[in-house]
Amino acid sequence: MIYPDRKGFPIILSAPSGAGKTSLCRGIEALHPEIYYSISVTSRPPRAGERDGQDYHFVPVKEFERMLEAGQLLEWAMVHENYYGTPRKQIDDRLNAGQDVIMDIDTVGARAIKKLYPQAVTIFVLPPTFEELKVRLKGRATDSEEVINKRLNRAKLEMQEIGDFEYWLINDKFDQTVRTVTAIIEAERCKLSRYNRDEVATVIK
């Protein structure tokens, strides 16, 4: 069946650091290449194995602040002394072309995006347990003990904001979690409110 055109919608995955939201976005992107994965911009230096334009857009602090002043970011935050933000143009261009966009951002950013794009779908991802979250963060071997503790304290605060989201799930079995997120996206694509009803009525004629 050929569906009528519709405007794309943002799919927001938010979760404490270490809960697996970035891996989930990559998993969704692999299954659905038609979905655009939004790459955030950050002022922090790349970690080992990270690539510019694939993991993040890495920019100097002054360039990030220039983008911020020019209104080129939809949302931004300072996390552990580093800037993170979502470029506006890459999102607007894709949505206006009818392409859905998936992004992994924190709870504050999620609220900002939802305010700008009421059609956005918000999903909160939880780790199986808080102890498992500790294990995952320490297993990365990329942060100091001090930074890990900051991330854990921030995680406790973020998990208290789950009530602001439309969907929630526990990232216990990765493949199952990817399938669950995919099911949510497919259901949202079938919402009549995302289409022109007059155009829908002509599909079966």
- For residues 54 and 62, the answer to whether their CB atoms sit within 8 Å is no
Does the pLDDT of residue 27 top 60, yes or no?
yes
DSSP 153: H
Q: Looking at residue 148, what is its pLDDT?
A: 81
Q: What angle do CA 130, 103, 119 make, to 5 degrees?
A: 110
Q: Which residues contact 62 (CB under 8 A, 6 or more apart)?
A: none
Q: Quote the CA–CA distance of 103 and 40 in Å, as a whole number.
A: 8
Task: Give the helix, strand, coil percentages of the chain, each rounded to 5.
Answer: 45, 20, 35
Q: Are 16 and 131 in contact (CB under 8 A)?
A: no
- Within 97-173, where are the H helices? 107-116, 130-140, 145-159
Look at residue 18 and tell me whether its pLDDT is greater than 80. no
The Cα–Cα gap between 48 and 93 comes to 31
Report whether CATH 3.40.50.300 matches the domain 10-190.
yes
The model's pLDDT over 133-166, given as tens digits with 9 standing for 90+, comes to: 777 777 776 677 887 888 888 878 888 899 999 9
pLDDT in tens, 84-139: 999 999 999 999 999 999 999 989 899 999 999 999 999 999 888 888 877 777 77
Whether the CB-CB separation of 57 and 69 falls below 8 Å is answered with no
Q: What are the structural domain ranges in the chain?
A: 10-190
Q: Are strands 41-42 and 82-87 parallel, antiparallel or unpaired?
A: antiparallel
